[in-house]
Structures are given as structure tokens and as C-alpha cells.
Amino acid sequence: MKCPACFNELSELHVSKFRVDVCQGGCGGIWFDAFELQRVDEEKEAVGERLLEIQRDERIIVDTTRKRECPRCAGVKLMRHFSSPKRQVEIDECPNCAGYWLDAGELGRIRQEKTQMAVEASRKPTKPTLAPETIRYLYRVQAQNRKTP
């Protein structure tokens, strides 16, 4: 398979029970087949850490504005979209095989974004709480309702 970003030959990388295709010594991008990205993410740190250390040639600068072709499906163009509602990282997805292309550094940024979102979610109160004055008001309304025949 050829790298969709710099046309280097992709090499297979086995990490734990996953097999991904990486542009080792090229642009440092990673190809995930359908659902592999989610599964790698569920596997916690160890798997991701290794994927964050792919050797790349610093002289290769990829053109992220160019339409890329899916390395698996001949003639199918990858679609660029944001990886989450926070809209910080753009990833390329194949509309045909549902695989993903991540440029060097994007996996790290997706992870950072996830941690950020988890922290933000944990800050939000889980149950809506009523202010004491609201509770007092509701008691008064109830009491009045009972008095009226």
C-alpha cells in the first residue's frame, strides 16, 4: 500500500493485537482500517504510545489541502472531517471502506482532545440541583394550593 500523503510504501506495524499501516521513515502518518482507531483508543496507553513514536523524515512536508486517495480502494478519495465536536483535529476517512488516515501528530492531538473532553465532562454537575430559594418558592406554592378549596 502506498502512503496517501507522500506516496512512500507503507509498512505494517503490529502493536498488541492490532495491525496498522504506517508511513515509517516517510511522513509518519498512520492508516487505520475500519474500527481499528476506536479499538486502539479503547486499549489505553500502551498501544497508543507506540503509535506516537513513528519514525518520520522531517524534510517531508505533506500538503494537507490536497485530496488524498484511499490506499485500499483504488480511485476513492478520502473525506476530510473533524474527529470530534471540538473541531480541533481533522482526519481523513474513506467513504468506501471506513478506514482512517491520520497525519503525524494527529493521534496525539486526538488523545489530548479526548482527555480534555473527559475533564470538562467530569466538571459538570451530574444532577441538576435546585437553589434553596426555588425550593422555598415551590413549598409556598404547594401550601397555597392546599388552602384554596
By the rule CB under 5 A, 52 interacts with Zn ion: no
Decide: helix, strand or coil at residue 18.
Answer: strand
Q: What's the CA gap between 62 and 28, in Å, rounded? A: 10
By the rule CB under 5 A, 5 interacts with Zn ion: yes
Whole-number minimum distance, CB 97 to Zn ion, in Å?
A: 3
Decide the pairing of beta strands 79-82 and 90-93.
antiparallel
Are residues 88 and 82 in contact, defined by beta-carbon separation less than 8 angstroms? yes
- Cα angle 101, 43, 108; round to 5: 45
Residue (94 or 110) nearer to Zn ion, CB:
94
Whole-number minimum distance, CB 94 to Zn ion, in Å?
A: 3
Q: What's the CA gap between 9 and 71, in Å, rounded? A: 10
By the rule CB under 5 A, 54 interacts with Zn ion: no
Whole-number minimum distance, CB 91 to Zn ion, in Å?
A: 14
Q: Which residues between 76 and 115 bind Zn ion (CB under 5 A)?
A: 94, 96-97
Q: What's the CA gap between 71 and 63, in Å, rounded? A: 16
First to last CA, the chain: 81
Q: What's the CA gap between 45 and 147, in Å, rounded? A: 63
Residue (26 or 51) nearer to Zn ion, CB:
26
Residue (52 or 73) nearer to Zn ion, CB:
73
Whole-number minimum distance, CB 23 to Zn ion, in Å?
A: 3
Q: Which residues between 14 and 43 bind Zn ion (CB under 5 A)?
A: 23, 26-27, 29
Whole-number minimum distance, CB 93 to Zn ion, in Å?
A: 9
Chain residues in the site for Zn ion (CB under 5 A): 3, 5-6, 8, 23, 26-27, 29, 70, 72-73, 94, 96-97
